[in-house]
Amino acid sequence: MTSTLDESPPPTGSLVRPSGRKRPRGGGLWGYSFPAAFWYALFTVGPLFAMFYLSTQSWPGLLSDQEWVGLDNFRRMWDDPLFWRAARNTGKQLIVAIPVMIPLSFMLGYYLTLKPRGHRLLRVLFFTPGLISITAKSMVFFAMFAPNGGVNGVLDAVGLEELTRSWTANPSTALWTIVAVDLWSGIGWTAVLFAARLASVPDEVYEAASLDGAGHMRMMYSVAYPMAKDFVGVMTMLQFLWTMFNSAAIVLLLTDGGPAGRSTTLSYYVYERAFIAQQVGYSQAIGVVLLVLGIVGLVVIRRLIRQDF
Amino acid sequence: MNRFVRSSPVSLVLRWLSHSLVWFYAVLLAAPLYYLISASFKDNNQIFLRPFHLPQREIFVTRPGNYREFEPLGFQNYSEAWGDVFLGQALINSFVVTVGALIVTLALCIPASYALARSSGRVVRAMERYFSVGLLIPGFAALVPAVLLAIELGLFQTRLFLVLAYPAGALPLSIILLTQFMRTIPRELEESAVVDGAGQFDILWRIYVPLARPGIATVTILNVLGFWNEFLYALVITGINRNVRTIQVAIPNLVVQGTTEFGVLAAGTVISIIPVYVMYVLMQRRMESALTEGAVKG
């Protein structure tokens, strides 16, 4: 993980030190950072490396004995239709969620920086999904998507009864309920973050563009976007990571991966294999694949965002 | 809205369209939340038949000669949710875990940020790099090994393990944010202290900590929210033990296969959100800036 990410400079501006400032060497100060580094190594880095070891074990259950099986777990994955289904589902989820979320939330963020009427109310509303837990979101949508829930209630009320269905239990919609919750909470929340970033673009820049006859669309694309480009890249990477790794919780709460694996994502599959099927080694082999895909995805996104400089 | 842009018929239509789309999304965002709160005061019949109505006493005809009456429930769902999944204990557990993990986080990240902000030694630079790469490592990746670690340490099904493990996930962002903040503290302030013979710890404790209070507040808000809302680690570590499980783990137990009382579920969910919302109402500005800083600077 380290080597791939270290090759290029960190994605955010956060690590750029104010240059030219003298900073006398503080003797023995490294000792102050040691406990935190140790803690992080013990509870995050260590377990991360342990995952690679675990992926070579056959381990039926957290409390039972293990056995070295080499790369068997990875071979097994190749022949496991559920694994491929999970991989496809994660792919679908990413391909829909990211391209919809990032442009929409960027436009929405730009809209907020114009301070239109009601923007305070909008901000509070957009902020709310960032405050409430994944449990709360999932429970809200568990109720909304229930056979007698709010979504079907609305469809009934507007005369679209034929569209009503059991959303989370229907093979063709289960996965999309997960994506819907991601978009529901992600667009507004990301928009607030974009707005915070765009607030730093000076008014004069917009004024100059408007004197040249630029409309909002044009300003968004040729003024706001170039100035916030790095941040768009960072948000894309973060949303990618969140969607890819954190879907386990919401899948677990909303659909249990069902029906018949139709809404099983890779991250949920890691969870399901470890804690429900009690196949710890196999689960961690999938975890290794997920981690590798995550790193590859980050590198690809970075390339895509950088290339048209 | 129209600060700089000239109007033409096309742009007027576009503007109207964009306003409507934004407010359409706002309604989409608000509707489920309204649904949640109104459902928490209704029973299943009311929720199913009148999904978006306010809870009220109401008589209506289902078939000629056949009518139903809805009784207002008051806070009955709330007390049922409270009793069904032992929310009192769950709230205490969440509180203990959140406060405990916060104390550990601050105790680790304040000295570390102090070192990172003041030293340019090679070890410290490497540490900074280590934590900034850590920003990109999702906690989920280490979930299963962390459970094994908990078992190994004899801390499986304890709140203590969460108190110890949560800070690890929180450290990279907390340290990066606080380091940036501490770098803005002018070094002249410590010079007189150095002349007086103060050691590193005195400088940290008497000069940096008081001056870095806004930065510490940001880190505190971000982490309190993160710890309170965390679900998956809490589930696998404390899941089946109702004496130690957190509120996020307790709430989903209100879902009963086939016979869920949606009103009770909604009430439980509202209870789990209330502490966060109280915090938001009390310090809206601070919280908004903390959360956006967390993402924008991190």
For residues A124 and A189, what is the distance between their CA atoms, to the nearest angstrom? Answer: 10
Q: Is residue A91 predicted with pLDDT exceeding 60?
A: yes
From A33, A129, A143, residue closest to B262, measured CB to CB: A143
| C-alpha dist (Å) from residue B10 to A80, A87, A124, A301, B16 | 55, 44, 31, 35, 10
- Which pLDDT score is estimated for B298? 55
What is the mean pLDDT of the segment spanning A255-265? 90
- Which pLDDT score is estimated for A308? 54
Residue recorded with tokens 């048209």 = A308
pLDDT tens figures, B197-246: 778 888 888 889 999 999 999 999 999 999 999 999 999 999 888 899 99
Q: Is residue A7 predicted with pLDDT exceeding 80?
A: no
Pairing of strands B58-63, B66-70: antiparallel
pTM for this prediction = 0.88
Angle between helix A119-131 and B284-296 (nearest 10): 70
pLDDT tens figures, B236-295: 999 888 899 999 999 999 998 778 899 999 999 999 999 999 999 898 888 888 888 877
Q: In a 3-state reduction of DSSP, which class is residue A223?
A: helix
Q: Is residue A122 predicted with pLDDT exceeding 60?
A: yes
Question: A28 versus B246: which is more confidently predicted?
Answer: B246
Q: How far is B107 from chain A (nearest CA, A)?
A: 9
- Which pLDDT score is estimated for B38? 92
Q: Is residue A246 predicted with pLDDT exceeding 80?
A: yes
From B1, B145, B167, residue closest to A116, measured CB to CB: B1
pLDDT tens figures, B97-151: 999 999 999 999 999 999 999 887 788 888 889 998 888 888 898 999 999 999 9
Q: Is residue A52 predicted with pLDDT exceeding 90?
A: yes
- In DSSP terms, which residues pair with B67 in a beta bridge? B61
What is the mean pLDDT of the segment spanning A131-156? 92
pLDDT tens figures, B60-91: 666 666 666 666 778 899 999 999 999 999 99
In contact, A283 and B142? CB cutoff 8 Å: no
- Which pLDDT score is estimated for B69? 67
Q: Note the ipTM here.
A: 0.89
In contact, A263 and A257? CB cutoff 8 Å: yes
Question: A223 versus A266: which is more confidently predicted?
Answer: A266
| CB < 8 Å to A31, chain B | 115
Element (H, E) at A300: helix A280-307
Is A38 an interface residue toward B (CB < 8 Å)? no
Measured between CA atoms, the residue of chain A closest to residue B272 is A136
What is the mean pLDDT of the segment spanning A205-216? 79
Q: To probe the interface with A, which of B201, B269, B283, B288 has the most A CB atoms within 10 Å?
A: B269
Note which residues in 226-255 of chain A have CB less than 8 A from chain B.
231, 235, 237-238, 241-242, 244-246, 248-249, 253
